[in-house]
Amino acid sequence: MSLIKQLWLAIIVLLLLSFVGSLAISINSSRAYIEQEVRIKNEDNATALALSMSQLDKELVILELLIAAQFDTGYYRSIVLRDAEGDVLVERRAGEYSGDVPGWFRSLVQFDVPTGTATVQDGWRQFGTLELESQHSFAYASLWRSMLELAGWFLLAGAISLTLATVMVRGIKHPLVRVVAQAKDISARRFTTIKEPRTLELREVAQAMNVLSANVRQMLSHEGQKLDELRRHLQHDRVTGALNRDVMLGKLGALLESENARATGLLVMVRVRALEQLNEQLGHQATDALLKQLTQQLAALDSTSEEPLVGRLNGSDFLLILPMEEEPHALLPRLEEALAQVTSPHNSATPGLATAVVAYHPHDERGPLLATLDDALAEAESASSATHIVVRQREQGSLFGNHTQWRTALTDAIAQGPQLAYFPVMDAEQQVLHYECPARLQLANQWQSAGIFIPWVTRFSMEPALDIAVVRKALDKLKAHSEQSLGINLSIASITNAEFVNELRQLLEKQPAQARKLCFEVPATLTPHAIGSLRGLCSALRPLGCQFGIEHVGAEFTKLADLHDVGLSYLKLDSSLVRGIDTSHEQQTIVRGMATLCHSLGIQVIAEGVATPEELESLFRTGVDGVTGPAVRTH
């Protein structure tokens, strides 16, 4: 039995004991008082009637008339006149009780009042004895009425007491529920904090657990910072802070293979011409400062990414990736201004910055893209100006000719319903953890992958409509295959949309058996507002058994301390962190650190885009819990 039920039981029992005890005491006291009054009345009435009879002639008819007149007043149960030998001379007795007092109450009370007796004199000798017993019906009625009034008062007092008890129990229950929920969260490695209750004992427990959660958050923040410092030491150029060549090319390859809005964008490559000569003219420190400034100016061009993708491919070549930028000519004014900021402070030895801009699209090959950039750079280097920008337009077939056609096609395709692909996520024992289910839409009479239409869906703010359609499709699939668990992608725009969250919750509540088989994944590009929305979404859907994960997590992901109380089930490492891990000790060190940090919170780590059996084996050795990618499907 729960503590609250025990508390309610104690309150109710206490009220009943108070009511029954008070009622019993009141009835006994009233009965004793009434019995005493009736006894005195019997004696007084018997004495008065005997005195009246003593003064009369002792003719039996006269005495009988006097007794009948007295009895007919209705206040007596019996009047009996006996002679000196005890024989009955006159007797009057009332019939059965005919009042409105219940029989059980009369049996319970049962007045015990002795009969009043008095001697009737005939001159100086005793004529007889008069026995008189008053009617109890008035006493029963009075006592019954008193009990009803007392019961009514106690019912009113009980209702008021229960109301006050409800307020008190609620004041205890709500903080207790929060403390219990926090304890369950901590047992599940969700280190939540709660408002401290006013109850002293509960406040002390809540304080202790809040301190524990705060310490865990501080520990995660400290360990995350150390891991981030290690990442920067291993993956970033020490002079400029830009990403190293292998890391940068790995991120480019991952973007080209991805199926989200970032699979479309621009590549900007800047080459510092005659770097050795510039180093001799400006000096080593000034040249390093110039290269660092160039990296900073390039990074400033990306205002959408949490950490801009700027890499140093070699001593003089710098590459900037601008996801979701599609218009090279719109970028040119900002790019020219950024390069001018680098060259203007060095008029004595103006550095030459040859620049090339090329657009990339989903499923482009990395090699041809870099070759196009190199060819454009060669053209830029042949120019005589200090900063010359060459834009290479690459033909990319579009399914539709304009925005109106795209919007209409996407609206129709979402209304028709998406198709789900199935990619297994396996653990080290070759057991399926769940299936990744990216969406496909029928556009131009063909099923297109997400990389084709997601940029347009994002542009038209249609993510909530697409995501709810995907969830409906997944629920339909689960009805036919209830043994599977499906991973569904949710966009940041969807989880921050209150209308979408309400519709999703209502949809899942109608199908709880299928809901517990869904795993919802959000991208790692979480803003503080998105983290708050994710926390609310997890709280709303966790009772339904849904799981939550974060996908495309790169080495730069530092939000784990902010997500310690969300209740994530897993993180999916981006393929840029996985590619070539079997030959890179730096990547192995970073992945092992991330896995250890996640496991301390009970979060599984899953690697995306595993391409070779060697990568798969290396990942499991570093502590990864699951893998997905081409190697998994063919393994």
Least confident of 195-209, 282-296, 435-449, 606-620: 195-209
- The model's confidence at residue 41, banded by pLDDT at 50, 70 and 90, is confident
Q: What pLDDT is attached to residue 478? A: 92
Stated pTM of the model: 0.69
Is pLDDT above 90 for 278? no
Render the burial of 81-119: b for 16+ CB within 10 Å, e for the rest.
bbeeeeeebbebebeeeeeebeeeebeebeeebebbbbe
pLDDT at 395: 61
As a whole number of angstroms, the distance between CA 566 and CA 179 comes to: 17
- Within a 10 A sphere around the Cβ of 623, how many other Cβ atoms? 16
- pLDDT of 173 strictly over 60: yes
Mean pLDDT of the 509-517 span: 92
Instruction: Express as a percent the part of the chain with pLDDT over 90.
Output: 23
Mean pLDDT of 313-330: 87
Backbone φ and ψ of 424, nearest 5°: -75, 145
Rg (CA), the chain: 47
What's the pLDDT at 635? 44
More confident site: 573 or 258? 573
Contact 578, 608 (CB under 8 A): yes
Check whether 347 has a pLDDT greater than 70.
no
Selection from 545, 599, 594, 537 nearest residue 566 by Cα? 537
Q: Which amino acid is at 17?
A: L
Q: What angle do CA 451, 457, 463 make, to 5 degrees?
A: 110
> Of 485 and 263, which is predicted with more confidence?
485
What is the rounded CA–CA span in Å between residue 325 and residue 360?
Answer: 10
Confidence band (pLDDT; 50, 70, 90) for 188? low
Interval 239-256 mean pLDDT: 88
Instruction: Kindly state the average pLDDT of the residues 193-214.
Output: 80
Q: What is the DSSP string of 559-589?
A: -GGGGTTT---EEEE-HHHHTTGGG-HHHHH
Burial 552-585 (b: 16+ CB within 10 A, else e): bbbbbbbbbbbbbbbbbbbbbbbbbbbbbbbebe
Mean pLDDT of 145-157: 84
Q: Are 70 and 76 in contact (CB under 8 A)?
A: yes
Once rounded to an integer, what is the mean pLDDT over residues 228-251? 86
Torsion region of 538: left, alpha or beta (phi above 0 gives left; psi -120 to 50 gives alpha): alpha
The arithmetic mean of pLDDT across residues 31-41, rounded, is: 85
Give the strands of the sheet with 446-448, arranged side by side: 419-420, 439-443, 446-448
At residue 634, the pLDDT reads: 45
Q: Residue 519, SS3?
A: strand
Residue 506 amino acid letter: Q
So what CATH class is 3-159?
Answer: alpha beta
Q: What is the pLDDT of residues 403-456, one digit of tens each?
A: 889 999 999 999 999 999 999 999 998 899 999 999 999 998 899 888 788 888
Task: Give the highest mean pLDDT range of 57-66, 120-129, 511-520, 591-600.
Answer: 511-520
CA 345 centroid distance within chain = 54
Structural contact between residues 268 and 301, judged by C-beta atoms closer than 8 angstroms? yes
Indicate if the pLDDT at residue 473 is higher than 60: yes
Residue 509 has pLDDT above 90, yes or no: yes
What fold characterizes domain 249-392?
A: Alpha-Beta Plaits (3.30.70)
Q: What angle do CA 292, 296, 299 make, to 5 degrees?
A: 140
Q: What is the mean pLDDT of residues 584-612?
A: 89
The per-residue pLDDT of the chain, averaged, comes to 85
Q: How confident is the model at residue 319 (pLDDT cuts 50, 70, 90)?
A: very high
- 362 DSSP 8-state letter: T
SS (H, E, C) 1-69: CCHHHHHHHHHHHHHHHHHHHHHHHHHHHHHHHHHHHHHHHHHHHHHHHHHHHHCCCCCHHHHHHHHHH
Spatial separation of the C-alpha atoms in residues 27 and 143, rounded to whole Å = 7
pLDDT at position 152 is: 85
**How many whole angstroms separate alpha carbon 275 and alpha carbon 287?**
8
State what percent of residues in the chain have pLDDT above 70.
95
CA torsion, points 582, 587, 592, 593, in degrees to nearest 10?
180
Residue pair 81/90 in contact (Cβ under 8 Å)? The answer is yes
Topology given in CATH for the domain delimited by 403-568: TIM Barrel (3.20.20)
Question: Where are the extended beta strands (E) located within 367-472?
Answer: 387-392, 419-420, 423-427, 432-436, 439-443, 446-448
**pLDDT tens-digit map of 533-579:** 998 898 889 889 999 999 988 866 777 777 877 888 999 998 888 88
Calculate the alpha carbon distances from 576 to 236, 256, 258, 302 in Å. Answer: 14, 11, 11, 19
Triad 567, 590, 626: Cα angle to 5° = 55
What's the pLDDT at 104?
79
pLDDT value of position 225:
80
